[in-house]
Amino acid sequence: MWQNLIETLDKLGEAYDKLVVLGEKKRSALVGIDMQGLSNLLDEEQLVAAKIQKLEQKRIELLRNLSQSDKTLTESTKAKEFYRKAPSLAAEKKLIQLHERLSKNVERALTIRNNNQVLAQCALDAVQGQLNKLSGAAVEPTYSGKGAGIVTHQKKFDFKA
Answer yes or no: is pLDDT of 86 > 60.
yes
pLDDT tens-digit map of 39-59: 888 889 999 999 999 998 988
Domain range 2-135, CATH class:
mainly alpha
CA neighbours within 13 Å on the CB side: how many for 123? 17
Q: Residue 113: which of 35, 40, 36, 21 has the closest Cα?
A: 21
Specify the pTM: 0.70
Task: From residue 41, give the alpha-carbon distance in Å to each of 91, 106, 107, 109, 151.
Answer: 36, 18, 20, 15, 34
Answer yes or no: is pLDDT of 143 > 70.
no
Q: Residue 25: which of 113, 105, 102 has the closest Cα?
A: 113
